[in-house]
C-alpha cells in the first residue's frame, strides 16, 4: 500500500483518473472518475443475460464491451470491481468454469440452507459468520452442488465469487489458452465484504471457517487441518480495503477489443452493497434503502451484528467496519410486474399511484412474486388482498404496488434498528428512487425524512473511490447532492401490510 501510494501522484492531482466497475445481475457498468473530486469523466455499459444461473464468460465479455464503451483504461491509474454477491463460481484445476454460476437469486438451494441451519443451529451460525444461511448464500449453493451434482463437486479446485473471478481474469489469469498468466488459482483474491456473504467467513475474526466450508461442499479448505490436502479446495485470499490485489505486469486483452495496460492497479473490490455504501460515503447513523430489481436496507457500524432470526446479515463493509443488511428479492421487480399488467411504464405507474390515497383504501399487495429471501419464504407467491369494487381499479393497484414494495423494506429497516443500529439519515437509492410516487410513499411508509441522492452508479462509484484510496493513500471525500423528502407519517399503511403478511 505504501509503495503504491508513494509511486502515484498527489491526492489532489486533478489529472489522476480511477475507474470503478459494477458487475450486477443485469449489466456491467464502468465509470471513470477524477480521483481528487469524484467527477465523472466517462462511462460505459453492457448487458448481462437473464436467468438465475449464468456462464461467467458472459460477465467477462460484458466487462470488455463496457470498458471499450467507456473509452478504455489507458489513462486510468487504478480500477476496482464491485459485483453481485454470493454467486457460486467453481473452477477446476485448469482454471475453467465447471458449470454456470448459481446467482444470489437462485433459490434451488433453499432445502440445503435449511439442512445447514439444522446441522449447527441459528445461534452457532450467527456467532461464527454473522448470518443464518438462506438460499442466497454461497455455502448453501455448494451444499446443493455436493448433493445434486456430485460429479461437478468432485472436480472443484477453487471457489470464487463473481467479482473475485472478474478481477482474477482482469489481472491476466485464467485457462491457459485464454489468458497470458494461466490458471494460477492461488492468485484468486477478494475483499472482506464479499467474503462475508459466503457463510464460511467470519467478519469478526476476518478469517475463513474451514469447518463450515467442509460442511457445505464436503471437501476441506487447502491448508486446513482437516482432510487430505490432495482433496482440498482453494478460496480467494482476502485483501484489506486500502490494499491492491496486484498491479498488471503486462498488457491484458479484454473481449471486444479493449485492453488493460501494464501498470494498472487492481484493487480489492467489493460486494455490491458494500460498494454502494462506500460510493455514498455512508457513516455511522446512515442507512440506505436500495431499490433495484431486488431491495436492500444497509448501514455502517463498528459494532458486531448478531440477529439469530437471520433477518439481518452482519456482513463486513468495504472499509473494515460492519454492514448490517436486509435483502428482499422483490423491489423494482414489483413495479415492473404491475406496470406490465397495467400496460404502463414506471413513470405512468407512479402517476396512477398518486391518484389513490395513502393505504389504497385497504388494498394490499404482498409482493412475493419470486418467493422471498426476507422473510425467508422461497416458495411463497404474491397475493392481493382487500379487493372491493372501489379498490379494484388501475390507480389503487398502482398504489398498492408501490406501498407493498416499500413496506417490505420498512420491515427490513425495523429489523436493522432492532440490532442496535441508529438511523439518523435515511437515503433512498436505485432506479426506482427517481419515481415521484416512490419518494412520496417512502416518506409516508418510513415515517421520516428521506434523502434521495442524485442519480448515479453508486456501486461503481464505491469501487472507484476505493481505487483512489489505494493509489493516493487517502480515502477521498466526494460530495453528493441530495433531495430531501419531508416526513409524512402514515403508520396505518405499514400496519395493514403487516397484518396481510401474517
Mean pLDDT, all residues of the chain:
94
The backbone region for 307, taken as left when phi is positive above 0, alpha when psi lies in -120 to 50, beta otherwise, is: beta
* Interstrand relation of 53-54 and 40-47 (parallel, antiparallel or unpaired): unpaired
Instruction: Check pLDDT > 60 for residue 225.
Output: no
Beta strands in 268-312 (DSSP E): 270-271, 286-291, 295-299
* Residue-level pLDDT at 5: 34
**Rounded to whole angstroms, what are the CA distances from 258 to 61, 63, 71, 182, 261?**
10, 9, 9, 19, 10
pLDDT-derived band at 10 (thresholds 50, 70, 90) equals low
Taking residues 216-238, what's their average pLDDT? 80
Of 428, 408, 332, the closest CA to residue 365 belongs to: 408
Per-residue confidence (pLDDT) for residue 374, from 0 to 100: 86
User: Is pLDDT at 327 greater than 80 in this prediction?
Assistant: yes
pLDDT surpasses 80 at 409: yes
pLDDT number for residue 62: 98
Q: Which of 272, 286, 307, 317 is catalytic?
A: 272
Q: What is the DSSP letter of 281?
A: T
Among 496, 265, 476, 241, CA closest to 361: 496
Say whether pLDDT at 226 is over 80.
no
Please determine, for residue 387, whether its predicted confidence score (pLDDT) is greater than 50. Answer: yes
Set of cell numbers at residue 491 = 403508520
| Cα 214 to Cα 199, 221, 227, distances in angstroms | 12, 7, 9
Res 231: pLDDT: 87
Confidence (pLDDT) at 305: 86
Determine the average pLDDT of the residues in 473-500. Answer: 97
Range in 41-55, 251-265, 296-310, 386-400 with the lowest mean pLDDT = 296-310
What is the value of pTM for the model shown? 0.91
Classify strands 450-453 and 101-102 as parallel, antiparallel or unpaired.
unpaired
User: Which of 158, 284, 300 lies closest to 217, judged by CA?
Assistant: 158
pLDDT for the residue 294: 87
Q: In angstroms, what is the C-alpha Rg of the chain?
A: 22
For 391-404, the pLDDT digits (tens) are 999 999 999 999 99
Question: Cβ neighbours of residue 303 under 8 Å, at least 6 residues apart?
Answer: 322, 420, 421
Q: Decide which of 375 and 80 is more confident.
A: 80
Whether 279 has a pLDDT exceeding 90, the answer reads: yes
Structure confidence at residue 228 (pLDDT): 53
428-483 pLDDT tens trace:
999 899 999 999 999 999 999 999 999 999 999 999 999 999 999 999 999 999 99
The answer to whether residue 12 scores a pLDDT higher than 70 is no
Question: In the predicted model, is pLDDT for residue 1 greater than 50?
Answer: no
Inter-residue contact 103 to 85 (CB < 8 Å): no
The yes-or-no verdict on residue 134 having pLDDT over 70 is: yes
Does the active-site annotation cover 272?
Answer: yes
Amino acid at each position: 500500500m505504501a509503495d503504491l501510494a508513494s509511486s502515484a501522484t498527489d491526492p489532489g492531482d486533478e489529472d489522476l483518473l480511477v475507474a470503478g466497475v459494477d458487475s450486477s445481475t443485469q449489466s456491467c457498468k464502468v465509470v471513470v472518475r477524477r480521483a481528487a473530486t469524484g467527477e465523472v469523466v466517462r462511462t460505459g455499459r453492457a448487458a448481462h443475460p437473464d436467468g438465475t444461473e449464468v456462464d461467467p464468460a458472459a460477465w467477462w465479455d460484458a466487462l470488455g464491451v463496457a470498458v471499450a464503451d467507456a473509452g478504455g483504461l489507458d489513462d486510468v491509474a487504478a480500477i476496482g470491481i464491485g459485483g453481485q454477491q454470493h454467486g457460486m463460481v467453481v473452477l477446476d484445476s485448469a482454471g475453467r468454469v465447471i458449470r454456470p454460476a448459481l446467482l444470489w437469486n437462485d433459490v434451488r438451494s433453499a432445502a440445503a440452507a435449511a439442512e445447514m441451519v439444522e446441522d449447527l443451529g441459528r445461534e452457532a451460525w450467527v456467532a461464527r459468520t454473522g448470518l443464518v444461511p438462506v438460499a442466497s448464500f454461497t455455502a448453501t449453493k455448494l451444499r446443493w452442488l455436493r448433493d445434486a451434482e456430485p460429479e461437478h463437486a468432485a472436480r472443484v479446485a477453487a471457489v470464487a465469487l463473481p467479482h473475485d473471478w472478474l478481477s482474477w481474469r482482469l489481472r491476466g489469469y485464467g485457462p491457459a489458452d485464454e489468458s497470458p498468466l494461466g490458471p494460477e488459482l492461488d492468485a484468486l483474491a477478494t475483499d472482506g465484504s464479499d467474503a462475508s456473504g459466503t457463510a464460511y467467513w467470519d467478519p469478526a475474526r476476518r478469517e475463513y471457517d474451514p469447518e463450515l466450508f467442509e460442511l457445505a461442499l464436503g471437501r476441506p479448505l487447502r491448508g486446513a487441518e482437516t482432510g487430505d490436502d490432495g482433496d482440498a479446495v482453494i478460496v480467494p485470499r482476502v485483501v484489506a480495503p486500502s490494499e491492491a490485489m496486484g498491479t498488471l505486469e503486462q498488457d491484458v486483452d479484454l473481449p471486444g477489443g479493449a485492453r488493460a495496460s501494464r501498470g494498472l492497479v487492481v484493487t480489492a473490490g467489493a460486494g455490491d452493497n458494500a460498494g454502494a455504501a462506500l460510493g455514498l460515503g455512508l457513516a455511522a447513523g446512515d442507512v440506505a434503502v436500495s431499490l433495484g430489481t431486488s431491495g436492500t436496507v444497509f448501514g455502517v457500524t463498528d459494532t458486531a451484528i448478531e440477529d439469530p432470526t437471520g433477518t439481518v446479515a452482519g456482513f463486513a463493509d468495504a472499509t473494515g467496519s460492519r454492514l448490517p443488511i436486509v435483502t428482499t428479492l422483490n423491489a423494482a421487480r414489483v413495479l415492473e410486474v404491475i406496470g406490465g399488467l397495467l400496460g404502463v411504464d414506471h413513470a405512468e405507474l407512479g402517476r396512477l399511484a398518486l391518484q389513490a390515497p395513502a393505504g389504497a383504501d385497504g388494498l394490499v399487495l404482498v409482493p412475493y412474486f419470486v418467493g422471498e429471501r426476507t422473510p425467508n419464504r422461497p416458495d411463497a407467491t404474491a397475493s392481493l388482498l382487500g379487493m372491493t369494487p372501489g379498490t379494484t381499479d388501475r390507480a389503487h393497484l398502482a398504489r398498492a404496488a408501490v406501498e407493498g414494495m416499500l413496506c417490505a423494506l420498512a420491515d427490513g429497516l425495523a429489523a436493522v434498528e432492532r440490532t442496535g443500529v441508529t438511523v439518523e439519515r435515511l437515503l433512498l437509492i436505485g432506479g426506482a428512487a427517481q419515481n415521484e410516487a416512490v419518494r412520496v410513499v417512502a416518506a409516508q411508509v418510513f415515517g421520516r425524512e428521506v434523502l434521495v441522492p442524485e442519480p448515479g452508479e453508486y456501486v461503481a462509484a464505491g469501487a472507484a473511490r476505493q481505487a483512489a484510496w489505494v493509489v493516493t493513500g487517502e480515502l477521498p471525500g466526494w460530495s453528493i447532492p441530495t433531495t430531501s423528502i419531508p416526513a409524512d407519517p402514515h403508520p396505518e399503511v405499514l400496519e395493514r401490510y403487516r397484518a396481510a403478511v401474517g
